Amino acid sequence: MPAHIAVQSTPTPESVHAIFGDEVRIRLVLHETADGALSLGLEMAEGEGQGLGIAALAFDFADHDLLGQLSLAGTHLRKQSFGAGKVYGVGRGGRGHDCGARLGRATTIGVAAPRETRLTLAHDRMTLTLDDLANCAFSLQLVPTAANHVRCESFIIEGRFPTRPASGRTAGTSADGSVFGGVLDEILPLMSRLTGRRSNAA
């Protein structure tokens, strides 16, 4: 379970992204915002899924204890729902998720389902990170957007959120266990050689 801090600040935000879907591909981007929230970006691949739009997103959340204080925001957001395993209506087999967002309808009447959108997931008091969604299951519903479309079932894309990228270069450690990350271990020998050269010159 991810550890949370009651500070609405993320000093070094990170991002992850992945492509999901086969016949219609969706690019998903997760980004930690500076104020401690998570940004979820969804975009349909150009030239694919013509006449379709993103109608709904349902997903799981790592820490069920935080669900009661979560909220979603976004330009296309019509409805949001939270409840451990109680968010239905998206996905196959009637599986319930923890969080849900309704974004648009199946026609141009009212709010048409968008081809791309961005949502912000936030908690009232706690800072959220990529770990809160890492490897959590999600279901994405695509629907026809034309007013005269032929009646058909919605298109469902399912997957799991990407995990935090592996750390690259790791900081060195000093032989004496100091916080300088090995810097002194490199500098001190250089200083010794420099002092020796000055003594010989004298």
- Interacting residues of 36 by C-beta distance below 8 A, sequence separation 6+: 7, 8, 9, 10, 122, 123, 126, 127, 128
Same domain, 30 and 92: yes
- Is residue 39 within 8 Å of 58, Cβ to Cβ? no
Same domain, 32 and 92: yes
Number of structural domains the chain divides into: 2
Identity of the highest mean pLDDT range in 1-10, 41-50, 109-118: 41-50
Residue 125 lies in a domain: yes
DSSP assignment letter at 41:
E
Same domain, 112 and 184: no
Same domain, 102 and 197: no
Same domain, 97 and 173: no
Distance separating alpha carbons of residues 123 and 66, to the nearest angstrom: 8
90 or 157: which leads in pLDDT: 157
- Is residue 70 within 8 Å of 80, Cβ to Cβ? no
Distance separating alpha carbons of residues 117 and 200, to the nearest angstrom: 70
Same domain, 82 and 133: yes
Same domain, 149 and 176: no
Check whether 191 has a pLDDT greater than 80: no
| Assessment of whether the complete model's pTM goes beyond 0.85 | no
Same domain, 143 and 174: no
Mean pLDDT, rounded, of the chain: 79
Binned at pLDDT 50, 70 and 90, residue 31 comes out as very high
Q: What amino acid occupies position 152?
A: C
Least confident segment among 33-37, 103-107, 125-129, 138-142: 103-107
Region 90-119: mean pLDDT is 80
Q: By percentage, how much of the chain surpasses pLDDT 70?
A: 67
pLDDT at 93: 64
Residue 188 structural domain: 169-202
Binned at pLDDT 50, 70 and 90, residue 201 comes out as low
Check whether 6 has a pLDDT greater than 70: no
pLDDT tens sequence across 116-160: 999 999 999 999 999 999 999 999 999 888 665 555 567 899 999
Same domain, 150 and 185: no
Residue 104 lies in a domain: yes
Same domain, 202 and 180: yes
189 or 69: which leads in pLDDT: 69
Q: The domain that contains 110 carries what CATH number?
A: 2.60.40
Q: Tell me which H or E stretch contains 119.
A: strand 116-123
Residue 2 lies in a domain: no
Residue 111 lies in a domain: yes
Q: By percentage, how much of the chain surpasses pLDDT 90?
A: 55
Region 30-52: mean pLDDT is 93
Residue 123 lies in a domain: yes
